[in-house]
Amino acid sequence: MFIMRFTERPYVAYTEDDVRHSFRSSVRLTFPNSHFNPELGADLYNEYLDEYEFSEEVGFDGLMLNEHHNTPTCMGAAMNLEAAILARITKKAKIVLLGNPLPIFDNPIRLAEELAEIDMISRGRLVSGFVRGTGIESWATNTNPVHNRERFEEAHDLIIKTWTTPGPFRWEGRHYQFRVVNPFERPLQRPHPPVWIPGVGSPETLEWCARHHYPYIYLETDPEVTVSMTDLYSKAAAEIGYEPGPQNFGYLWRIHVQDTDEKAVEVGKGFLIGNAGVGRVPLPGDFMAPAGYNSREGSKRLLEQYKHALRPDPLYGGVDAAGWDKVVESNRVVVGSPKTVIKKIRQGLEVFRPGILGVWTNDGTIGHKDTMRCLQLMKEEVLPAVREMGKELGLPGPFEQAP
């Protein structure tokens, strides 16, 4: 099993009321950047890098980063910069980028060059994930959501060709045209760094991943729907002649551990309470999925997720708005002492059977000190137990068995 550690690297100095009183009560896209204090931002960036550096010492196999724009919930607006820093200050852990939002880039070749540099600086530790990006990213960069999937697939194809085909060559696509493709720097890993794709269950993306043998990382999706999505991937894989295993799937899960259940519950509330958190305050539907962004089948799949989701407040929605107790009860957030957390993780692994486990240790208002204690307990008790579970349950990661 491959175990990676993640945080959204949030900005923390704002309240839920600030969000509710902003334009359309949205914590993304239109939440005023006048709330941002660069001095606090500087402190937070350095704390998050310290936590990631310690995560390697803790024993995580990978350090996962993501990218969002126009939001305090994730300060990773330039994820590749953070990745380059981690590539230099760490030695063993994979640098897992989940992922670069391809449709918002007008020059995929520049992105291919950046990623090649990160792979070389890290001496071959890059895992290069790609995403379509939420609708927020389309709004923030003024890119047409109707062409989002087409741009995603074409940019992916161009990047892979850039990494694997000697230049110079010419590219004349529907969305990208380059007379000369000939970046001098190429990745250390051959033929190219591993590619993983995260998401929440778009059927088109699942089928596309299966055709490319790319692991699919479920981003905290509803348990019941996750199983049906795995079936969709497996069916697409069977059509091209292979049977996927745990190495083809991952699951990102909010997990926070403290010395006692009581302490963990109190600290873990920071995931949801104190500011908008992730999922606490709903986002306007046209912000997240503007017209043309999703296919009909993709929209139907998302509605299935909400049908099985916790019942939130009817006015404000948001999965987490169902309330802290219900969210914990459902295991959407796992908090507790090492003993409690280990038990709950096993229950999830038996259902999801992922070869990749993303441990989302902190967010919202969970502070640096509590995060470091969480990581220490992960090192001493949780990670060794989870590794044994992976062996016992037969959950190989993608570096143990090829997807």
pLDDT single digits (tens) 60-107: 999 999 999 999 999 999 999 999 999 999 999 999 999 999 999 999
Mean pLDDT value of segment 242-257: 98
Instruction: Indicate the angle between helix axes 79-89 and 38-58, nearest 10 degrees.
Output: 50
**Unique residue bearing structure tokens 């096993």:** 346
Alpha-carbon dihedral 18, 20, 25, 29, rounded to 10 degrees:
20
The pLDDT score that the predictor gives to residue 316 is: 35
Q: Using CB atoms within 10 Å of the CB of residue 402, give its burial: 0 to 12 exposed, 13 to 18 middle, 19+ buried.
A: exposed
> What single DSSP character describes residue 38?
H
Mean pLDDT value of segment 110-121: 98
> What single DSSP character describes residue 321?
G
Enter the pTM of the model.
0.94
φ and ψ at residue 287, rounded to 5 degrees = -75, -45
Q: What's the token pair of residue 102?
A: 């391809």
Q: Is the pLDDT at 159 greater than 70, yes or no? A: yes
Residue 16's pLDDT band (boundaries 50, 70, 90)?
confident
Q: Which of 23-37, 227-241, 313-327, 371-385 has the lowest mean pLDDT?
A: 313-327
Q: Is the pLDDT at 311 greater than 60, yes or no? A: no
Mean pLDDT value of segment 9-20: 88
DSSP string for residues in 343-387: HHHHHHHHHH--SEEEEEEE-TT--HHHHHHHHHHIIIIIHHHHH
Q: Is the pLDDT at 317 greater than 50, yes or no? A: no
d(CA 85, CA 329): 38
How far is C-alpha 164 from the geometric centre of its chain's CA atoms?
26
Which CATH number is 2-393's, of 3.90.226.10, 3.40.1190.10, 3.20.20.30, 1.20.1280.260?
Answer: 3.20.20.30
The pLDDT score that the predictor gives to residue 285 is: 78
The pLDDT score that the predictor gives to residue 301 is: 64
The pLDDT score that the predictor gives to residue 314 is: 35
Q: Is the pLDDT at 201 greater than 50, yes or no? A: yes
Q: Is the pLDDT at 137 greater than 70, yes or no? A: yes
Q: Which of 24-28, 163-167, 214-218, 350-354 has the lowest mean pLDDT?
A: 24-28
DSSP string for residues in 88-131: HH-SSSEEEEEEEEGGG-S-HHHHHHHHHHHHHHTTS-EEEEEE
Q: Which of 14-18, 32-36, 361-365 has the lowest mean pLDDT?
A: 14-18
Mean residue pLDDT across the chain: 91
The pLDDT score that the predictor gives to residue 275 is: 65
Q: Is the pLDDT at 293 greater than 50, yes or no? A: yes
| Percentage above 70 pLDDT, the chain | 92
The pLDDT score that the predictor gives to residue 325 is: 82
**What residues does each domain of the chain span?**
2-393
d(CA 272, CA 324): 7
